Structure 1
Amino acid sequence: MTTHPLHALLLALILCFGGSACAGRMNGSEKMMWSTYPLATLKGAATGFVITRRDPSAPGGKVPVVFTSVHVLKTMGKGPLIIGFRMPDAKGVAQVSLLAFSPPPQAGNEPFYVRHPRYDLAAFALHFPPEIAGRADISSCLNEKSLSHDGTSLHSGMEVSFLGYPEVLPGTDGAFPVLRSGRIASYPVGKPQAHGRFLIDSDVYPGDSGAPVFIAGTSGRPKLVGMIIQRVSPGTRNFSHLAIAVDADVIRETLALVAADENKSATAIQKLPAKPTR
């Protein structure tokens, strides 16, 4: 995977809206809703969420990183991946922008995203061209500090919430995800024997892959504790009462892979020979 500006990103609509979605008085669930977005390929729909990563070299010192399942991105083929972003206007009302992402061919057929080496989790950074970078501030209330640490332990029977775009409800006002909750149905959780995964007892549908799993944190701040990667169902078109999620450590490891890949690409660009002058 190599990092490149989104010169292959066809901007159906990018506007300059006023303010940050996270600046208003919202509870943790509402902040998570502003950080979660619908994804679609020609073969189906899914869910993604954005974590802003600190990057001093990027406009504003941050880069939005999109997380979803690997199996979702594999259905792209040659593209496009449609991302339904939203940003607040001056009155805080969500305005939706559609991004059609068709990445250029990569050397050695490498994907444009990084994937976790063991789990169905992928992530990629969005680097906008300089001419629109100042206006394309993708709204998210999540950053590296939003990821749960060992101090926020998960336990069997604990209630967690998740946000997705279930196929049974194809659209909502403002392209906001649907909030549901369930209890952790597996044991142990967060221990080496759990292998970075846990079960959630809740109704899950096609379209929920990539849904962020969270709990309420301090001062109304949500804590991201996992991501749904699979429904446990006898048929691909059936809903399920069980879902498999990866935990926050797996998300953190994937975010570190994005950072390492970006640093590798930046180093490679710096080593390119200078163009000869005439």
Structure 2
Amino acid sequence: MAWDLSVDLIQATVQLEQPLADGSRTVGTGFLIEDPTPDGRPRTILVTAAHVFDRMPSVSAKIGYRVQSKEGVWRYDPRTLKIRDGDHPLWIKHPSRDVAAIVVEAPPEFAKAAIPLAWLAQDDTFNKYSLGPGDEMMALGFPRGLSANTAGFPILRSGRVASYPLAPASVFPTFLMDFSVFPGNSGGPVFMAEGARRRPGSTESQEVQFVAGMLTQQVELSGERLEIGIVTHAKYIREAVALLDKPSGPPLIQAAPAKLPSTAAAQDVVAVQAVAAPGFNR
């Protein structure tokens, strides 16, 4: 494989958290995208589910950067991320979907981990690779505030596409994945990284690596979690990022829920004491 999307996305994915007055904390997942400004200046953008920021009442949150020593040892190095100026949100929200984007000043060594915007799926990506129900995708996140290790890396899990059809995104803005969703998963990238998939109408194989979307909700019925995640198409991440370059700024409109019998956004509130570094048992 020429490149490994799984490793690249692990490095670009960060935990977002804010302690609350009752000793619990709001936790979510985000990932960094490299998208230069219209005049070509480098720019790093954090994307996450809009409801993650909506449920953080204070002006600042923590973004879980990681740094590597000269000896190659990783350590968790969270930094303060200002998300409000008084009551005014500093992030932009997609006008119809649960997606938010904010420009961040990441440490230079971490800004390099941001993935190119071009890695996000386009409108025709699913049809191009003949993807559909049963195909396996992967997801990164911090379920219930847990990380993979003390360095703060996200946990990688997988699930199968559980709905049909997947495209066009303008008609089907979300799709389902057979995947248990927990508080802390919201905003994490969902992606496909297959090293060898047969080309449609051919005996030849091809690499299939792209970010399919963002985990934003879970499916519930009568208060029961059905262990099904709702993924918002990457198209709407692209649109949210594009709003950053609108001169007057985007309208701050609450994202509409997916049209399913019963859904719920992950609550993203973890009832444990906030600590300075993520461990296995946060």
Common fold by TM > 0.5 = yes
Cα shift at 1:66: 0.6
Deviating above 4 A after TM superposition, structure 1's stretches of 4 or more consecutive aligned residues are: 217-221
Are positions 1:116 and 2:101 aligned together?
Answer: no
Could you say which residue in structure 2 is the equivalent of 1:74? 54
Cα shift at 1:173: 3.1
Q: Which has the higher contact order (CA 8 A, sep 6+)?
A: 2
Could you say which residue in structure 2 is the equivalent of 1:148? 121
Q: Residues of 1 paired with 2:212 and 2:71: CA distance?
A: 31
Q: TM-score, normalised by structure 2?
A: 0.71
TM alignment of 1:97-176, pairs within 5 A: 97-103=77-83, 105=85, 109-127=87-105, 135=108, 137-153=110-126, 154-167=131-144, 169=146, 172-176=149-153
SS in structure 1 of the partner of residue 180 of structure 2: strand
Unaligned runs of 5+ in 1: 1-24, 266-278
SS in structure 1 of the partner of residue 151 of structure 2: helix
Amino acid at match of 2:237: I
After alignment, is 112-121 or 159-168 more displaced?
A: 159-168
Q: 2:64 aligns with which of 63, 84, 87?
A: 84
TM alignment of 1:252-267, pairs within 5 A: 252-260=238-246
Q: Residues of 1 paired with 2:138 and 2:233: CA distance?
A: 13
Q: TM-score, normalised by structure 1?
A: 0.72
Unaligned runs of 5+ in 2: 20-24, 196-205, 250-282
Could you say which residue in structure 2 is the equivalent of 1:276? none
Q: Residues of 2 paired with 1:231 and 1:247: CA distance?
A: 15
For the structure 1 residues 220 and 52, does the alpha-carbon distance in structure 2 shift closer, same or farther, using more than 3 Å as the test? farther
Q: Residues of 2 paired with 1:51 and 1:41: CA distance?
A: 22
Amino acid at match of 2:245: A
Q: 1:41 aligns with which of 13, 18, 26?
A: 18
Q: Residues of 2 paired with 1:80 and 1:68: CA distance?
A: 15
Could you say which residue in structure 1 is the equivalent of 2:161? 184
Are positions 1:247 and 2:233 aligned together?
Answer: yes
For the structure 1 residues 192 and 53, does the alpha-carbon distance in structure 2 shift closer, same or farther, using more than 3 Å as the test? closer
* Structure holding more strand per residue: 2
Amino acid at match of 1:114: I
Residue-pair matches, total: 229
On the 8 A contact 1:56/1:62 being kept in 2, the answer is no
Q: Residues of 2 paired with 1:222 and 1:92: CA distance?
A: 27
1:43-83 CA distances to partner (integer Å, 9 max, x unpaired)? 4211111101113768xx42111111111101221232111
Are positions 1:211 and 2:188 aligned together?
Answer: yes
Q: CA RMSD in A?
A: 2.9
Amino acid at match of 1:185: A
SS in structure 2 of the partner of residue 203 of structure 1: coil
On the 8 A contact 1:64/1:126 being kept in 2, the answer is yes
